[in-house]
């Protein structure tokens, strides 16, 4: 039985260009591995559609390390985030699902992790994305709805390098100014 205390975010590692609708493919793969059905509690397609894989109280098959399958909700997004970023629709759906899950199980922000937090042999939820799942989602969602043009440009610059994204999301003004200076120096 699963007792959710954590949220763990994954990616399929299959580009959306290769397979735009991946739920069935992942489900079939996990069945062939002997897991009975898809290992995640939820999978979010590129268009933001949330598909339920397992009941939330059902043991997952997504993060064996630290027995997380028995104390977490596993959410997977379609895409290879070593090469691409989630769609805005995926970001909005993931943010909404995380918020609902947090409220339902009293899960604090500090217990939302990318899969790679528990394992060194995976990049999951993708090398293009920071460890701060909620910070990234808020930036992406706000970035498209409320940011000034210069802030959007800075976000694009920062997303080119994972270290730059972390500095931007930390919000330290000196880090942001150093990022801008370094990017402007590259342009010259």
Q: What is the pLDDT of residues 46-79, one digit of tens each?
A: 999 999 999 999 999 999 999 999 999 999 999 9
Q: What is the pLDDT of residues 101-138, one digit of tens each?
A: 999 999 999 999 999 999 988 899 998 888 899 988 98
Same domain, 17 and 110: yes
pLDDT, residue 117, reads: 94
Same domain, 160 and 120: no
Examine residue 46 and state whether it is found in any structural domain, yes or no: yes
**pTM (2 d.p.):** 0.78
What secondary structure letter does DSSP report for 15?
-
What pLDDT is stored for residue 17 in this prediction? 84
* pLDDT of 175 higher than 70: no
User: Residues 110, 166: one domain?
Assistant: no
- More confidently predicted of 16 and 151: 16
Q: What is the CATH number of the domain that holds 81?
A: 3.40.80.10
Greatest alpha-carbon pair distance for the chain in Å reads 58
In the predicted structure, residue 5 carries a pLDDT above the cut 60: yes
Q: Give the chain's domain count.
A: 2
CA angle 129, 11, 138 (to 5 degrees): 45
Is position 83 within any domain? yes
Q: Which domain holds residue 49?
A: 6-130
**Which candidate, 43, 49, 41, 34, places its Cα nearest to that of 14?**
43
Nearest to 86 by CA among 12, 170, 26: 12
Shared-domain flag, residues 159 and 124: no
């Amino acid at each position: 039985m699963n007792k959710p205390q954590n949220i763990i975010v994954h990616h399929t590692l299959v580009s959306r260009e290769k397979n735009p609708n991946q739920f069935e493919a992942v489900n079939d793969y996990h069945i062939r591995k002997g897991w009975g059905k898809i290992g995640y509690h939820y999978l979010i397609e590129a268009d933001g559609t949330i598909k339920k894989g397992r009941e939330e109280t059902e043991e997952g098959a997504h993060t064996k390390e630290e027995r997380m399958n028995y104390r977490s909700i596993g959410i997977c997004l379609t895409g290879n985030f070593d090469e691409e970023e989630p769609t805005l629709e995926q970001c909005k759906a993931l943010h909404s699902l995380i918020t609902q899950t947090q409220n339902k199980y009293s899960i604090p922000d500090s217990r939302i992790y990318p899969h790679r937090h528990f394992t060194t042999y995976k990049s999951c939820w993708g090398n293009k994305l920071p460890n701060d799942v909620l910070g990234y989602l808020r930036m992406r969602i706000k970035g498209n709805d409320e940011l000034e043009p210069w802030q959007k440009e800075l976000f694009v610059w920062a997303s080119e390098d994972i270290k730059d994204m972390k500095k931007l999301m930390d919000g330290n003004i000196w880090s942001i100014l150093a990022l801008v200076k370094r990017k402007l120096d590259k342009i010259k």
